[in-house]
């Protein structure tokens, strides 16, 4: 099965386009699929990950005083 020329050309153009970042890709997904309810979950997970990363550094005593 061969592809139509216009499909092949469209695929080639998309392959040559500059790559977008992870944040932009996520934002486009949320906007396109209307899954805005995922945003608070992702933000909470990002904050927890940041606290876990900072908990292993010299900032740990300062973080523990917050809680």
**DSSP string computed for 5-47:** HHHHHHHHHHHHSPPP-HHHHHHHHHHHHT-TTHHHHHHHHHH
Q: What are phi and psi of 4, to 5 degrees?
A: -70, 150
pTM of the predicted model over 0.75:
no
* pLDDT score at 43: 93
Residue 1, pLDDT > 60, answer no
* pLDDT score at 3: 63
* pLDDT score at 41: 93
The tens digit of pLDDT for each residue in 12-67 reads: 888 888 888 888 988 888 889 998 898 999 999 999 998 888 888 887 788 777 77
| 3-class secondary structure, 61 | helix
CA-angle at 15, arms to 10 and 16, nearest 5°:
100
């Amino acid at each position: 099965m061969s592809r139509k020329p216009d499909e092949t050309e469209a695929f080639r153009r998309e392959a040559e386009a500059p790559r977008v970042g992870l944040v932009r890709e996520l934002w486009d997904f949320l906007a396109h699929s209307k899954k805005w309810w995922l945003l608070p979950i992702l933000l909470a997970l990002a904050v927890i990950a940041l606290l876990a990363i900072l908990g292993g550094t010299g900032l740990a005593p300062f973080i523990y005083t917050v809680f």
